[in-house]
Amino acid sequence: MKNWWKMFLVVGLVAGVLAACSGNSGSGGDESSGDEGGEPSGEITVWGWNVAAESMELAVDGFKEQYPDVEVKVEDIGRLDVYEKLTVGLASGGNGLPDVVMVESDRLANYYDQFPDALTNLSELGYDDHKDKFGEYKQSVTQNADGEFFAAPWDVGPTGVFYRTDVFEEAGVNPEDIKTWDDYIEAGKTIKEKTGTQMVPIDIAKDDALYRMMLNQQGAYYYDEEGNIDVTSEESKKAFEVIQQLENEELVLNNDGWNGVVSATVNGEVATVPFGVWYSGTIKDQAPDQDGQWGVFQLPAFEEGGNRAANLGGSDLVIPSSTDNQGAA
């Protein structure tokens, strides 16, 4: 369990640093990025949000050891503000944008499709030398149709089930015994009976993360490989059936999106939260009084011995073409 958790965190928080040289000059009084072939210098600004921004701060420490002449300012401006300001900035030719922006993988293609010339071609700056540091999936979402990188992979979102250790202990449930979704439902029934705590937060009326995790776990999504809507697939039906069973057994806390999940966590209303690895940072940040009361186990499989891995979320780094210091960025 401990070894799996360590691997879970390492994979989820892995960070790539883009290091390339350029002859562009700095802006706003910054030092220039150096002559062709010289070391990058100057000041750059990175936009991010909560846990993602904190992870970037950690990466900056190592970056500064390699590039002491580059000052990096990480601004946590909030996830929704990042997208609002990025959209407006790209539409206006780059006005008001920083040098680097964090973008979630599921939003990345939309920005490139709408503003292909507004994002720096990283392959032209030598990023291809680093591409093999990430898996094929992360490479694919950051490349255009010609295989050129318009973004650099930042992190992936391996999933697991975060659970309240104190609630499980009170109910006499061993998380290691939960290997399938049927096991998960049975455990939820016991926990509800013994503690009165509901098993999982789900936004019944909207797009929900658990459904997406279940699809990904089975190698499926909303669309098939040809791009056709595929929510009536066998994989989708299996996911809906499990969620329906959870609802029928009154194990679901119907919540309102992201804020609802966080509120349920902070208020101790649910025994588990299936989510991406990055949610560990949210628990630490939003529920510090629950320190030592959370553990994690692998996502349950749909059948005995089946796949227990999935991905949810993950983000990437883009450099707006409007930056005056591509080399440092």
Token pair 């679901």 in the structure block, residue = 252
Number of independent structural domains in the chain: 2
Identify whether 325 is part of a domain.
no
Q: What is the CATH number of the domain that holds 291?
A: 3.40.190.10
Residue 37 is predicted with a pLDDT of 55
Q: Do 54 and 128 belong together in one domain?
A: yes
Q: Do 110 and 10 belong together in one domain?
A: yes
Q: Do 308 and 183 belong together in one domain?
A: yes
Q: Do 37 and 58 belong together in one domain?
A: yes
Identify whether 323 is part of a domain.
no
Q: What is the 8-class DSSP label of residue 113?
A: H
Identify whether 232 is part of a domain.
yes
Band (21; pLDDT cuts 50, 70, 90): very low
Identify whether 327 is part of a domain.
no
pLDDT digit string, tens, across residues 128-145:
999 899 888 889 999 999
pLDDT digit string, tens, across residues 247-287:
999 999 998 888 899 999 999 999 999 999 989 988 998 99
Identify whether 324 is part of a domain.
no
Identify whether 256 is part of a domain.
yes
**Cα gap 147→130, rounded to integer Å:** 14
SS3 91: helix
Identify whether 217 is part of a domain.
yes
Cβ neighbours, 10 Å, residue 217: 24
Identify whether 18 is part of a domain.
yes
Q: Do 168 and 142 belong together in one domain?
A: no
* 134 membership: H or E segment, kind and range: none
Q: Do 76 and 107 belong together in one domain?
A: yes
Q: Do 143 and 12 belong together in one domain?
A: yes
Q: Do 93 and 127 belong together in one domain?
A: yes
Residue type, 130: H
Q: Which domain holds residue 202?
A: 158-313
Give 79-84's long-range contacts (Cβ < 8 A, gap of 24+): 79/49, 79/50, 81/49, 82/47, 82/48, 82/49, 83/107
Please provide residue 110's backbone torsions phi and psi, each rounded to the nearest 5 degrees.
Answer: -60, -40
pLDDT digit string, tens, across residues 85-141:
999 999 999 999 999 999 998 899 999 999 999 999 999 999 999 989 988 888 999
Gap between the terminal Cα atoms of the chain: 39
Cβ neighbours, 10 Å, residue 10: 11
**Cα gap 243→207, rounded to integer Å:** 13
Return all residues near 82 (Cβ < 8 A) that are at least 6 apart.
Answer: 47, 48, 49, 101, 102, 103
**Cα gap 215→212, rounded to integer Å:** 5
* Cα atoms in the Cβ-side hemisphere of radius 13 Å centred on 176: 3
What is the rounded radius of gyration, in angstroms, for the C-alpha atoms of the chain?
A: 22
What is the secondary structure of 204-250 as a DSSP string? TTS--HHHHHHHHHTT--SB-TTS-B-TTSHHHHHHHHHHHHHHHTT
Q: Do 128 and 193 belong together in one domain?
A: no
Q: Do 298 and 175 belong together in one domain?
A: yes
SS3 106: helix
Does the reported pTM lie above 0.95? no
Q: Do 309 and 162 belong together in one domain?
A: yes
Q: Do 151 and 21 belong together in one domain?
A: yes
